[in-house]
Amino acid sequence: MPTITLPDGSQLELGRCGFVELGNANRTFTKEEINEWVQNNPQARDLSIPIAFHVIYASNGTGNLSESAVNDQVDVLNSS
């Protein structure tokens, strides 16, 4: 599987279509664990979240988007 290297040097494996496996999806967190994480991780920072877009379009091209149109929408999301 391909991997990506994060700014902190750690690596994540990418699955099909850029899906990132983050571990046990069924894990639950206690209120205490969440409060501790919030205390230790100030919210005034930049985050990098890998994303993937699936552009589905008809065989005649109807609905197809250019890469620049998708990137423009990502810019809109990032500015909000």
Over range 59-78, report the average pLDDT: 90
Number of domains observed in the structure of the chain: 1
Over range 12-18, report the average pLDDT: 68
d(CA 41, CA 46): 12
**Is the sign of the CA dihedral 22, 8, 6, 67 positive or negative?**
positive
Instruction: Supply the range of the domain harboring residue 67.
Output: 3-79
d(CA 69, CA 80): 17
Over range 52-65, report the average pLDDT: 87
Read off the pTM: 0.42
Q: 53 or 20: whose pLDDT is higher?
A: 53
pLDDT, position 20: 62
Q: Is 25:15 a contact under the CB 8 Å cutoff?
A: no
* DSSP code string of 53-77: ------TT-TT---HHHHHHHHHHH
